[in-house]
Amino acid sequence: MTGRRARHVRLRGVVAALGVAATLVNVPAPAYAGPAARDDDHGARADHGTRAGHGTRAGHARQVYVVTLAPGAGAASRAGRELAARYGASVDRTYGAALNGLAVRARADQALRLAADPAVASVVPDTGVRTRAGQQRPPSWGLDRIDQRRLPLDKSYTAPRRAGRGVTVYVIDTGVRTSHKDFGGRARSGRDFVQNDGTAQDGNGHGTQVAATVAGSAHGVAKRARIVAVRVLDDRGTGTLAQVLAGIDWVTRHARKPAVANLSLGGPPNAQLDAAVRASIASGVTYTVAAGNENGPASRSSPARVRQALTVGATDRRDARAAFSNRGRALDLFAPGVSIRSASHRSDTASAVSSGTSMAAPHVAGAAALYLSGHPSARPAEVAKAVVRRAVQGRVTAAGSGSPNKLLQVNGA
């Protein structure tokens, strides 16, 4: 991980981890089936990003497609699996909690025929993602900022005594160095959808920094919350839409509530990703999402444009919107995201400094955990409302047209 460089994880082709601020890359091709409903009415052009190098010679190379089935067709059923086989496709993954669909391998001509089946709502090419963070003298100025309403910083951080106890935060990212001393035994692996096993170790660093910003004993907002690592991005900080969907689906199915999930990743508008996040929120998991690092409208990015999620922009230590931070009406609030120190994956005691909306979002995830610790039965909409209501108004300079001028605060959580 680079230190002070603004980071944003991009899905290769569709989703990106907002590494300090992840960004989704373009979908390699349009959906073959009819367009799915947007989460908003912005028909904006997607920001450009790196794209996975899938072999795509028309009709010959097999690649991965994400298939969403129509209502009434069960993806996990025998009929769902047989549907793919009927057109010569093989099933890589099955989703059933956050998305009724499949990830399949097929040639382009097979995908076209599959998309025409009445049991199918849409077929889109898989796309790539990559990474886009009373305690005295806290190591991060961000902690110092979020418990006081005005500058200057007072060199202390005071959180409620509950400090997130009883809340589980799912970090959907590059994995987490769960043995790091900052977690004090409160972090564990959930699932690794890169290696397809149960050990979600971090070979990149992004996920560890995000997790410690949420709940590290030294670096974290909610110092008693539990962390579960869900790895969807590899050691380079890249992944695919299919992997990210699998991570969200797993969290939706296995979340121990009260629960928060953090997505410091994103990309251009993508209906499948948006739908999965909405479904997971509907199941009772509160989501915090990085707004992106393109200095553009967050409404042009998924899942940042999902209204039910808490979408977070970044500020610097002077309360100015970070030069890289996305902006606009899709944001819910801002949080510190420039030069944030947090735990590093390099050893059990190491730390690193990063910038980006990927570091802003976990501050809000920690704040959500603080609220849920005292209100364990609160639904995601209630959590989001409480977090936004407690934000301080009018402090962010150059917030951007349409942006809410609200800066995260944790007092009284």
Query: Contact, 19 vs 131, CB < 8 A?
Result: yes
- The catalytic position among 280, 339, 354, 358 is 358
Tokens 């997505």 belong to which residue? 263
- The catalytic position among 54, 180, 206, 345 is 206
- The catalytic position among 173, 182, 234, 249 is 173
Question: Hey, which residues does 11 pair with through a beta bridge?
Answer: 129, 239
| The residue count for the chain | 413
Q: Write out the DSSP string of 51-94.
A: -------TTTS-EEEEEEEPTT--TTSHHHHHHHHHTT-EEEEE
The secondary structure of the chain in percent helix, strand, coil, rounded to multiples of 5, reads 25, 25, 50
Residue 358 among the catalytic residues:
yes
Q: Tokens standing for 402? A: 């349409």
Q: Tokens standing for 182? A: 């900052």
Query: Contact, 363 vs 336, CB < 8 A?
Result: yes
Three-state DSSP at 240 gives strand
Question: Hey, which residues does 157 pair with through a beta bridge?
Answer: 135
Residue 154 among the catalytic residues:
no
Q: How far apart are the first and last CA of the chain?
A: 32
Cα 189 to Cα 175, 176, 207, distances in angstroms: 8, 8, 12
Q: Write out the DSSP string of 161-197.
A: TTTTTT-EEEEEES---TT-GGGTT-EEEEEETTTTB
> Is residue 209 classed exposed, middle or buried when 0-12, 13-18 and 19+ CB atoms within 10 A define those classes?
buried
Residue 280 among the catalytic residues:
no
**Residue 97 neighbours by CB distance under 10 Å:** 18
- Longest C-alpha distance within the chain, in Å? 65
Alpha carbon distance 110, 354 (integer Å): 44
Alpha carbon distance 6, 138 (integer Å): 22
Catalytically active residues, by annotation: 173, 206, 358
